[in-house]
Amino acid sequence: MKSVRIWFKKAGLAVYISHLDMNRCFSRAVIRARLPLWYTEGFNPKPYLNFLAPLPLGQVGLLEPLDIRIVGEITFEEIKEKLNAVMPQGIEIVNVTEPVMKTAEISAASYKIAVDFSDASLAQKFAEVSSAAVAGGEILAEKRSKRGIKTVNLCEFIKSFEVKSEGDTAEINTVLACGSEKNLNPDLLLQSFYTLCGFEEETRSIARTSLLTADAKVFQ
């Protein structure tokens, strides 16, 4: 048995596929691709699939990791080709590798966010307010966890933050906590900014570009 890490891109209409449906999608895909899979034991054996950091609904993922296990001889390139031949539109296998790091090493994620407003003045105000809020060190919001809903300071989950306005669009580059210990959905951060500004966007685009370790190395 050998562990294999699949790196895939999720974009287009596929961003609206929920995590549960993504699990079903890949479960069917690995079978249709006729990969030599290792199956879980028990009454209802299934292909082993482990999404290391499930992506929130509506967000683009440029390099998302999924671990599977195989029991036969097959190259990484063959796995990539076979899976891409059966994947639905919007999901693309970018690379296939051996797992280098453990899931527990994921500590943060980098994002590129574009927020469109009705005019340039709103985009500029959003950039000014959001930048000042992060620099001030306190953005209070209600955050849901396994223990319920509690008020937290979102700044404790922000590793880095840059924002600028270009016309009627505000562009954000940020690194947010992402992992088993701490996690911040950028949707919650944006909603907190809108509350401070007193207005919301016309449209938004959120893309997770990479996963990072605690020492800011790219997760592999």
Residue 184 is part of a domain; what is its CATH number?
3.30.70.60
Q: pTM here?
A: 0.93
CA end-to-end distance (rounded Å), the chain: 20
Tell me which of 40, 71, 99 is where a domain ends: 99
Tell me which of 78, 99, 120 is where a domain ends: 99
Q: Within 13 Å of residue 103, how many CA atoms lie on the same side as its CB?
A: 13
| pLDDT values of the chain reduced to their tens digit, one per residue, 220 residues | 899 999 999 999 999 999 999 999 999 999 999 999 998 877 788 889 999 999 999 999 999 999 999 998 899 999 999 999 999 999 999 999 999 999 999 999 999 999 999 999 999 999 999 999 999 999 999 887 777 788 999 999 999 999 999 999 999 999 999 988 899 999 999 999 999 999 999 999 999 999 999 999 999 9
CATH number for the domain spanning 74: value is 3.30.70.580
For 96, phi and psi rounded to 5 degrees?
Answer: -135, 125
Q: Which domain holds residue 123?
A: 105-212
173 and 206, same domain (yes or no): yes
119 and 81, same domain (yes or no): no
67 and 152, same domain (yes or no): no
Q: What share of the chain is helix, strand, coil (3-state, %, to 5)?
A: 30, 40, 35
